[in-house]
Amino acid sequence: MNLTLPRFFWNEFRKRRKKAALITFALFWGTLSILLLLAFGQGLTIQFRVSFSGLGETLIMITGGQASLTFEGLPKGRPIRLYREDIAYLRERIPEALRIVPESYNNWQVSAGGKEVNRAVHGTTAEFALMRTQVSQMGGRFINVDDNAQGRKVAFIGWNVAKDLFETEDPVGNEIVINRVPFTVIGVLKKKLQDSMYQGPDADQIYLPFSSFLMIDSQREIDRIHIQPQGPEQSKLVEERVRVLLGRKYRFDAADRYALGVWNTIEDSKEGLAIFKGIEIFLGIIGGLTLLIGAVGVTNLMYAVVKERTKEIGIKLAIGARRRIIIQQFILETMFIFAKGTFWGFIAAFNIVHLIRLIPVNYESFGIEAYLLRPVFSLRIFVAYVIILGVLVFLSGIFPALRASRSNPVESLRYE
| Smallest distance from other proteins to CB 312, Å | 6
Cβ(169)–Cβ(212) below 8 Å:
no
Count the site residues for other proteins by CB under 8 A. Answer: 26
SS3 labels along 27-39: HHHHHHHHHHHHH
Give the span between the Cα atoms of 330 and 117, in whole angstroms. 75
> For residues 384-413, which are near other proteins according to CB under 8 A?
408-410, 413
Distance CA 274, CA 265 (A): 14
Q: For other proteins, which is the closer residue by CB, 69 or 321?
A: 321
Secondary structure of the chain: what % helix, strand, coil (to 5)? 55, 20, 30
Reduced to 3 states (helix: H, G, I; strand: E, B; else coil), residue 112 is strand
**Residue of the chain from 325, 361, 372, 398 that contacts other proteins (CB under 8 A):** 325
CA distances from 243 to 17, 309, 353 (A): 72, 78, 47
The whole-angstrom distance between residue 126's C-alpha and the CA centroid of its chain comes to 26
Identify the bridge partners of residue 103 per DSSP, sorted by sequence position.
Answer: 224
Least Å distance, CB 21 to other proteins, is: 15
CA distances from 144 to 125, 141, 152, 190, 270 (A): 7, 8, 10, 17, 31
Among positions 321, 348, 361, 388, the unique one binding other proteins when judged by CB under 8 A:
321
Tell me: does residue 180 bind other proteins (CB under 8 A).
Answer: no
Q: Measured between alpha carbons, how far is 111 from 108 in angstroms, rounded to an integer?
A: 10
- Give whichever of 7 and 257 is closer to other proteins, judged by the CB atom: 7
Q: Which of 240, 322, 354, 384 binds other proteins (CB under 8 A)?
A: 322
Which value, in Å, is the radius of gyration of the alpha carbons in the chain?
33
| Residue 318 binding other proteins, by CB under 8 A | yes
Piece of 133-141, 186-194, 312-320, 354-362 that binds other proteins (CB under 8 A) = 312-320
Stretch that binds other proteins, among 8-16, 158-166, 252-260, 370-378 (CB under 8 A): 8-16
Residue 385 CB-density burial (10 A; 0-12 exposed, 13-18 middle, 19+ buried): buried
- Under the binding rule (CB under 8 A), the answer on residue 8 touching other proteins is yes
Sign of CA dihedral 211, 217, 222, 227: negative
Stretch that binds other proteins, among 36-44, 142-150, 214-222, 320-328 (CB under 8 A): 320-328
Q: Is the dihedral of CA 161, 167, 168, 173 positive or negative?
A: negative
Q: Is 320 in the site for other proteins (CB under 8 A)?
A: yes
Q: How far apart are CA 200 and CA 60, in angstroms?
A: 18
Q: How far is the CB of 399 from other proteins (least distance, A)?
A: 18
Instruction: Tell me the pairing of strands 115-124 and 60-66.
Output: unpaired
User: Is 315 a residue that touches other proteins (CB under 8 A)?
Assistant: yes
Which position among 96, 267, 312, 364 is part of the footprint of other proteins (CB under 8 A)?
312
d(CA 12, CA 212): 80
Interface residue with other proteins among 121, 317, 331, 401 (CB under 8 A) is 317
Instruction: For residue 316, state whether it binds other proteins (rule: CB under 8 A).
Output: yes
Q: Which stretch binds other proteins (CB under 8 A): 7-15, 116-124, 201-209, 395-403?
A: 7-15
282 forms part of the interface with other proteins (CB under 8 A): no
Whole-number minimum distance, CB 318 to other proteins, in Å?
Answer: 6
In whole angstroms, the minimum distance from the beta carbon of 416 to other proteins comes to 10
Q: Does 6 bind other proteins (CB under 8 A)?
A: no
Of 318 and 384, the one with the shorter C-beta distance to other proteins is 318
Report H helices in 159-264: 159-166, 210-216, 235-250
User: What's the closest the beta carbon of residue 5 comes to other proteins, in angstroms?
Assistant: 7
Binding to other proteins (CB under 8 A) within 98-137 occurs at none
Q: How far is the CB of 410 from other proteins (least distance, A)?
A: 5
Contact residues for other proteins (CB under 8 A)?
Answer: 2, 4-5, 8, 11-12, 15-16, 311-312, 314-325, 408-410, 413
